[in-house]
Amino acid sequence: MDLNTTSIPALTADELRRLYRLLAAVRELDVAAVAWQRQGIIPGYAPELGQEAAQVGSAFAVDTTRDFVFPTYREMGVALAMGVDMVEYMSTHKASWHGGLYNPVETRLAPIQAVVGGSVLHAVGWAHAQRLDGADGAAITYFGDGASSQGDVHEAMNFAGVLKAPVVFFVQNNGWAISLPTESQVAGGRVAARAAGYGMPGITVDGNDVAAVVQATRAALAHARSGAGPVLIEAMTYRRGPHSTSDDPGRYRSLDEERRDGGTDPLELLASRLLSEGIADQQFLDEARAAGAAAADRVREGVMALGPRPGSELFEFVFQEPTEALQAQARAWREESEHV
């Protein structure tokens, strides 16, 4: 099944410049966050070096007045492109608040979560429910090549196909699931090929080409919103850094392999297009990087200033009405930690 991408207009020069500024901001913040972890400012972080175009490009296509976004633990670039406050986003990496301090309802970004494949089920539930309510938005859910082997993802795709739920399944195929290469777990070569079995279009896109990602995601969201059912997009990219700040890729891949498989740097790809088409000059590119670095410094200050949250929040926001078992745990916790 094919997806109609021809009706999507080409990106304007202004959009391409905005995309470069976003890519630069994500690159600067991402590299800075790894340094903060090494400096002891945050305990952990999941870098996205090399995946900036897949994230910024897909989020750029989202309409936050009606769509809803379901991230994993590696979607800082999505959050930034959606305009989420980055201190509130980074609070999860400071371990101040599980899932991020931003308001999911206002931002349209569901809480950050680390259950592999977990957000995929939530997206289908949200998409189907809002359609039953008569709304016309679509959900976009992020997951990795590794998560595509998880049972939950197949159940979610099957339900979305059967119900014609307005969902875009956005797979970032970054070549690795921690230390396991994609070819060791994705039979049939491509995750996108699986879409046919669930009755939905499945397309692959160059995940390092931000303009291509915007176009594909705009087409997919339009398809989903129109009531034609879900779409799967597989963005081919490469995780240039470690899985997380606790990982050492040198234990399972060589520098030669990284150089061979890394693909084109998404920032360099867009920069050379902007220059060759006369859309921007070197000064614009330098200023975008400098603005990104300055913004990252401001986020660092905000993250450092974040205090701990009250421990009692552990028990809140779990169920709409807390269970007796949870209330008993909360009482025990209070007696032990607050001696009340």
Ligand X SMILES: Cc1ncc(C[n+]2csc(CCOP(=O)(O)OP(=O)(O)O)c2C)c(N)n1
Q: Determine whether 93 is an active site residue.
A: no
Shortest separation between residue 330's beta carbon and ligand X, angstroms = 26
Sequence-distant (6+) residues with CB within 8 A of 125 are none
- Is 206 an interacting residue with respect to Mg ion (CB under 5 A)? no
Other beta carbons within 10 Å of 106:
9
Q: Sort 325 into a burial class: Cβ within 10 Å, 0-12 / 13-18 / 19+.
A: exposed
26, 116, 153, 236: which one binds ligand X (CB under 6 A): 116
36, 60, 126, 176: which one binds ligand X (CB under 6 A): 176
Helix, strand, coil content of the chain in percent (nearest 5): 50, 10, 40
Question: Could you give the dihedral angle defined by the CA atoms of residues 169, 140, 235 and 121, in that order, rounded to the nearest 10 degrees?
Answer: -40
- Is 239 an interacting residue with respect to ligand X (CB under 6 A)? yes
Closest CB to ligand X among residues 1, 178: 178
Q: Determine whether 243 is an active site residue.
A: yes
Q: Which residues pair with 160 in a beta bridge?
A: none
**What whole-number distance in Å separates Cα of residue 162 and Cα of residue 196?**
12
Shortest separation between residue 12's beta carbon and ligand X, angstroms = 31
Shortest separation between residue 182's beta carbon and ligand X, angstroms = 8
Closest CB to Mg ion among residues 91, 174: 174
Shortest separation between residue 241's beta carbon and Mg ion, angstroms = 12
Q: Taking CB under 5 A as the criterion, which residues in 144-163 touch Mg ion?
A: 144-146
Other beta carbons within 10 Å of 336:
8
Which of Mg ion, ligand X, none is residue 193 near (CB under 5 to 8 Å by kind)? none
131, 240, 243, 289: which one binds ligand X (CB under 6 A): 243
Instruction: With H, G, I as helix, E, B as strand and everything else as coil, classify residue 156.
Output: helix
Q: Determine whether 89 is an active site residue.
A: no
Which DSSP string do the residues of 221-238 spell out, in sequence order? HHHIIIII--EEEEEE--
**What whole-number distance in Å separates Cα of residue 125 and Cα of residue 130?**
9
User: What x-and-dash track marks residues 133-172 binding ligand X by CB under 6 A?
Assistant: ----------xxxxx-------------------------
Applying CB under 6 A, the residues found at the interface with ligand X are 74, 114-116, 143-147, 174, 176-178, 239, 243
Catalogue the active-site residues: 239, 243, 252
